[in-house]
Amino acid sequence: MTARAAILSRLKAGVFRQPVATQAAADVPYPLPTDNLRAQFIERLSETHAEVRSCDAESMPQAVVDWMTDIGAQQQWVSQTSALGQQLWKRKPKDAVWVDPQAPMDQDRAQVFHDIGLAVTSSHSALFETGTIALIPDQHEPRTMSLVPPIHLVVVHLSSVVGRFEEWIRRYPACAEHTNVLMITGPSKTADIQQTLAYGAHGPKRLLVMVVE
């Protein structure tokens, strides 16, 4: 008998006690704040140790480019094919070094791991409750972008903000069709050394969020 068959046959021979019925299982609704969502969402993001700027839709591409210039990283990853990337490339400052991430793990990884100072990505949506940003990486913005460079700049549209995770999954069940779905809350961190919080454990040390109204 295969391991699979043996395990399943033992499980099928057992009975797990049925869950106790209770009315308490229903979700408590979690409506978005009706007044000044922008300010409140920015506050939530800041609590996660993210750095936040905001702008309107029209000024967005330039505001992002300005922020990238302020950071001044030597090499920056900007997708040449994503909708956001294409808007940005049109405004690329002359002296800035921008690179399309290509297939990041199939090229010289040392360069990817050490030379790229910042990556810009768009986002799928966000969760208000926890200041979380949802990313669904694809061929235009591969998952390495939000992971390997020390700074991740992400653009979030206020209209995409959902109350919390439980509602998000109800609204986007099709997310399961994507290879990878990511929820990002603040920069990479660890408290593994004597419970002292340190940022930039393995992922980005800084998370920059451009909130677009």
Partner 1 sequence: MTEATPIRILDNPREPSFRPAMDYLIDKRAQQFPDSDDFERLRVQSKQLKQAALSNLPALLEQAEAAMVANGIQVHWAETIEEAQATIHQIMLDTQATTMVKGKSMVSEEIYLNHHLEAHGLRAVETDMGEFIVQLAGETPSHIIMPAIHKSKEDIAALFQAHLDVPYTLDVDELIAIGREQLRTEFEQAGIGLSGVNFIAADTGTLCLVENEGNGRLSTTAPDVHVAITGIEKVVAHLADVPKLIRVLTRSATGQPITTYVNWIHGPRKPEERDGPRAVHLVLLDNGRSQLYQKERQQESLQCIRCGACMNHCPVYTRIGGHAYNTTYPGPIGKILSPHLTSLPDTPDHPKASTLCGACHTVCPVGIPITDLLLDHRAQATLPRREQWIWRFWSMFNRHPRVYRMSLGLMLRLYPLLPKWLGGWTRHRAAPALSHQSLGQKMAARPKKGVQSGAAS
In the set 124, 143, 162, 211, which binds partner 1 (CB under 8 A)? 143
Contact call for residue 8 and partner 1 (CB under 8 A): yes
Contact call for residue 90 and partner 1 (CB under 8 A): no
Q: Specify the stretch interacting with partner 1 by CB under 8 A; choose among 56-64, 91-99, 116-124, 192-200.
A: 192-200
Q: Least CB distance from residue 106 to partner 1, whole Å?
A: 8
Tell me whether residue 117 or residue 200 sits nearer to partner 1 (CB atom): 200
In the set 142, 151, 156, 208, which binds partner 1 (CB under 8 A)? 142
Pairing of strands 116-122, 75-77: parallel
Go through 88-123 and write b for each residue having 16 or more CB atoms within 10 A of its CB, e for each that does not. bbeeeeeebebbebeebeeeeeeebeeebbbbbbbb
Per CB under 8 A, contacts with partner 1 among 18-37 are 18-20, 22, 24-25, 27-28
Tell me whether residue 21 or residue 95 sits nearer to partner 1 (CB atom): 21
CA dist., res. 124 & res. 13, Å (int): 44
Q: Least CB distance from residue 48 to partner 1, whole Å?
A: 8
CA dist., res. 165 & res. 181, Å (int): 13
Contact call for residue 195 and partner 1 (CB under 8 A): yes
Work out the burial of residue 189: count CB atoms within 10 Å of its CB; fewer than 13 is exposed, 13-18 middle, 19 or more buried: middle
